[in-house]
Amino acid sequence: MLKDLLAHNRNWAAEREAEDPDYFKRLSQLQKPEYLWIGCSDSRVPANVITGLEPGEVFVHRNVANLIHRGDLNLLSVLEFAVESLGVQHIIVCGHHGCGGVRAAMDGDRHGIIDHWLQPIRDVAEHNIHSLEHLADQTERLDSLCELSIAAQVESLARTPIIQSAWRRGNRLKIHGWVYSLNDGLLHDLGCGRSSIHREKHRRFGTHQLKSHSHQHHSAH
């Protein structure tokens, strides 16, 4: 019942204030989280609860199947703010086994707009078809695809101009790929993280070459 939520909220706020009279005053004046969490919208994977983090300690973005779409203004706005204003030092891309988004991406049915959203998962499946085909069990195959997708999202995030620029400026923030198991409530680091050593080199496409290319382009007309 909705009334229960509001009652629970009043109790929670009262308890916090009783423990620490300055709690809300302090939080309202400053948020300085060290972490940005990019996770699935699934109600069973709430960032603060499973990591034991308090309000003010983690900046959160969630979408279906924790995907990084390069044109997603919502994600990019969150990312830019988290990196450039909040100064987060760790970005955690967290997916989970038993993800309905991963399942829906691969079941061959038509679900609507969500099929467009889930396309990156089918791309990852296609790139890894040989390793996935070896897994006989369907659940195992989907969970493996879920992990491969997390690694692909980490890579995709690392290549965004926001992250690349931060690393170029000397920011030492790290991106991590984690998976959560609904069966035992445990998080695992997939070891697919990225840091500033993965900064892209653009020497081959320097201004000089671009200029001369555009010159040739014009003279051809």
Contact positions vs Zn ion (CB under 5 A) = 40, 42, 99, 101
Q: Which is nearer to Zn ion, 101 or 193 (CB)?
A: 101
Task: State in angstroms the smallest separation of the CB of 116 from Zn ion.
Answer: 17
Task: State in angstroms the smallest separation of the CB of 206 from Zn ion.
Answer: 42
Is 94 catalytic? The answer is no
Alpha helices in the chain (DSSP H): 2-19, 23-29, 47-51, 73-80, 100-106, 114-117, 119-127, 129-133, 138-158, 161-168, 207-219
| Cβ contacts of 51 within 8 Å, gap of 6 or more | 37, 58, 187
Q: Which is nearer to Zn ion, 34 or 72 (CB)?
A: 72
Q: Active-site residue among 61, 94, 97, 99? A: 99
Q: Which is nearer to Zn ion, 69 or 159 (CB)?
A: 69
Q: Specify whether the CB–CB gap between 64 and 40 falls below 8 A.
A: yes
Q: What is the DSSP letter of 85?
A: I
Is 99 catalytic? The answer is yes
Q: Which is nearer to Zn ion, 42 or 143 (CB)?
A: 42
Is 44 catalytic? The answer is yes
Q: Which is nearer to Zn ion, 82 or 146 (CB)?
A: 146
Is 115 catalytic? The answer is no
Task: State in angstroms the smallest separation of the CB of 105 from Zn ion.
Answer: 11
Specify the 3-state DSSP secondary structure of 168: helix
Q: Active-site residue among 26, 44, 127, 202? A: 44
Task: State in angstroms the smallest separation of the CB of 41 from Zn ion.
Answer: 7
Q: Active-site residue among 61, 96, 176, 194? A: 96
State the residue for tokens 């991106």: 175
Task: State in angstroms the smallest separation of the CB of 208 from Zn ion.
Answer: 46
**% helix, strand, coil for the chain, step of 5:** 55, 15, 35
Is 172 catalytic? The answer is no
Q: Active-site residue among 42, 61, 176, 194? A: 42
Nearest alpha-carbon partner for 119 in 102, 131, 96: 102
Tell me how far apart the alpha carbons of residues 78 and 2 are, in angstroms, rounded to a whole number.
29
Nearest alpha-carbon partner for 62 in 33, 36, 41: 41
Q: Which residues are catalytic?
A: 40, 42, 44, 96, 99
